Amino acid sequence: MRSLFVLCIALAAVLVLAACGPGAGSAPTQPAAPKPVEVQVTMTEFKIEPSMTSFQVGVPYRFVVTNKGTVAHDFSITPPAMQHGGMAMSSDDMHKAALAVIDAANMPPGATKTVDVTFNKPVAAGEFELACHTPGHYEAGMQVPITVTQ
Ligand SMILES: [Cu+2]
């Protein structure tokens, strides 16, 4: 008699588990990733013209960079070159310090490239800039300071 009781309990447990098993209820859906804010950036000889230069920490941005010039340009978000001993940064240094880079090889005249950036800390005026480090271009004026606020 007692073993029958145990069997009944076991059966009931199996039925409850089956009810909660796969197929019972749908999996929670993933929240959609926030849509990045688009920042249009136009590059020419020898100017960088961004649609904005003030950004916010934690907001995803998509830099849409178009080369409207007649030679290749590169795009980076880097500390000002003058902070590196007064000389233009080498390509290696530039890559190490950069928050984002699009190489000149990928930006021939007419090309549009995108790079996504989410700033994770505030940036004071003069700490970072949008720049082209193709030899001679930076010095010719291809740099625009940016700020990032909390
Ligand atoms: Cu350039």
Query: Per-residue pLDDT tens for 104-119?
Result: 999 999 999 999 999 9
Distance 69 CA to ligand 1 centre (A): 9
Distance 86 CA to ligand 1 centre (A): 19
Distance 13 CA to ligand 1 centre (A): 71
pLDDT digits (tens, 9 = 90+) for 16-67: 545 545 555 566 677 777 799 999 999 999 999 999 999 999 999 999 999 9
User: Any idea where the domains of the chain sit in the sequence?
Assistant: 37-149
Beta pairing, strands 60-67 & 37-44: parallel
Distance 135 CA to ligand 1 centre (A): 8
In DSSP notation, 73-117 reads --EEEE--GGGTTTSPPPHHHHHHH-SEEE-GGG--TT-EEEEEE
Residue position matching structure tokens 């009810």? 19
Query: Which of 121, 110, 112 has its CA nearest to residue 59?
Result: 121
Distance 79 CA to ligand 1 centre (A): 16
Q: How far is CA 84 from CA 19, 77, 78, 96, 108, in A?
A: 66, 15, 11, 12, 28
Distance 121 CA to ligand 1 centre (A): 27
Q: What is the CATH number of domain 37-149?
A: 2.60.40.420
pTM of the predicted model as reported, rounded to 2 decimal places: 0.74
With a pLDDT cut of 90, the percent of the chain lying above it is: 64
- The alpha carbons of the chain give a radius of gyration, in whole angstroms, of 27
Distance 119 CA to ligand 1 centre (A): 24
